[in-house]
Amino acid sequence: MKKLLRLLLIITLLVPNFVKAEELDLAKNAKSAIMLEASTGEIILDKNSHERYAPASMTKIMSMLIIIESIENNIIGWEDIVTINENASSMGGSQILLETGEKMSVNDLFKGIAVASGNDAVVAMAEYIAGTTSAFVNMMNEKVKELGLKDTNFKNPHGLDEANHYSSAYDMAMIAKELVKHEKVLEYTSIYEDYLRKGTDREIWLVNTNKLVRFYDHLDGLKTGYTVDAGYCLTATAKKNNMRVIAVVMGEPDSKTRNSEITSMLDYAFAQYKTTTLLSSSDVIKKVKINKAKDEYVNIVPTTDINILSKKGDDISSITYSTEIDEIKAPIKKGTIVGYINVNDKNKQQIALTVDKDISKASILDLFIRNLGDIFTGDILIKH
C-alpha cells in the first residue's frame, strides 16, 4: 500500500473555520480569546488568539501535563512521598503553605496544583520529577515543540511574571486539548473544595480558584490565572452531550468579567454546535491477513473516536472517509500506527489507524500446524 507522510499530530486541521469573537459580541473585554471543540480540534471562535501575553497560572496546564505523563509512564507514582525543600516552601503567590522538610504525596501535591494553584506545590513536583526547576522548564518547552506550538516560551512552572515567559490563547487551548486526553486530571480540576493535612494542626482548606466548576453545569476544569502583567485569565473546559469545549480568555480586567465572558462563550458553543461520532475507536475498519504471524488475521481500528463537529441542524450525511493502510509485518504492538483515515469533512481530518492487539511472529511449529490445516481444508493445491 502507498505510505502516507507521517504527521506529528493525529488530527491535522488544514483550514480553520471559525467565527471572529467580535462578530458575536463575545469576549469583548479580553485581549485575546479562543474556543474549540476538543476531540476534533476545530476552532469555533477566535480573537487575536496568536498574540503573545503573560499566561500567569495557566502555565500550570503544561506543568500538569508533564506531571500526568510522568505518572502514566511510571516515572513517578501517585503515592510517592515528596520531601519539600526550601526552594519550594519559599515560593510566593498562591500556595498550600508547604514547609521545608515536610513530606507530602504526589496525589496531594497534584491536588494542591489543580485546585488551589499552589506555586509551592508545582515547584516541589518539578524538582521531584526533573531534579531542578530549570530542568523541568526545559521539559515544558520541549513539549511545546513536540506539540508544534509557536507562541509559547516558559521560564518557570508556576506562571509568576518573568521576562520572556509568554504564551497565547491558541497555544493554551492546544496544551489544554492535550491535557484533557488524560481524564484522571479532570477528577482533580473539577474539585470545588477539599482539605490537605486533614485532622492535623496544619489542616488547610482548598477552594478552587476556578469558581465556575461550582456555578457552571458540566464544567470540570481547567485553570485560572492572574498577575499584574497578565491580567485575569482562564482556560476552561466543559463537556455536554458528548461534546467537550475548551475556551480561553487572556487579559481580562477582573475575575467577574473573565467568568462572565467564558460563560457566554460556552453557552454559545453548546447552543449552536454538536458532535457526531463517525467511527469509534472500537470499530473495525478492515481485517488484514499477516504472513508469518502467530495470529493470522488482525483488525485495523482508529486510534481514537472520529467525531464531526457541526452546527445543529446541518446535514452531515454526505461526509465520507477513505483509508490508507501500510503493509503490516509481525511482530507489531497495539498502538503502532499502520495507516490513516482521511475524512472529507471541512477540516480534512486525518486520524491514525492501529491494530487492535499485539501480534507476535509465528514459530516454526505455528507455521507447520497452519500449513497442515490448509492442506486438510483444501487451501493448498498439490500439483502433479
Angstrom distance (rounded) from CA 192 to CA 133: 28
Question: Looking at 49, 117, 190, 310, which residue is catalytic?
Answer: 117
| 117 catalytic per annotation | yes
Question: Looking at 60, 143, 177, 223, which residue is catalytic?
Answer: 60
Please give the full DSSP string across 149-166, using - where no structure is assigned. -SS-B-S-SS----TT-B
Cα–Cα distances (Å) from 229 to 39, 90, 161, 226, in that order, read: 32, 22, 7, 8
Provide the 3-class DSSP secondary structure of residue 302. Answer: strand
Q: What is the CA radius of gyration of the chain?
A: 24
| 286 catalytic per annotation | no
Question: Looking at 32, 39, 49, 57, which residue is catalytic?
Answer: 57
Strands ordered across the beta sheet of 350-355: 286-289, 297-302, 350-355, 339-343, 321-325
99-104's contacts with Cβ under 8 Å and 24+ in sequence apart are 99/202, 104/196
| 155 catalytic per annotation | no
Residue whose cell numbers read 483488525: 299
Provide the 3-class DSSP secondary structure of residue 123. Answer: helix
| Active-site residue set | 57, 60, 117
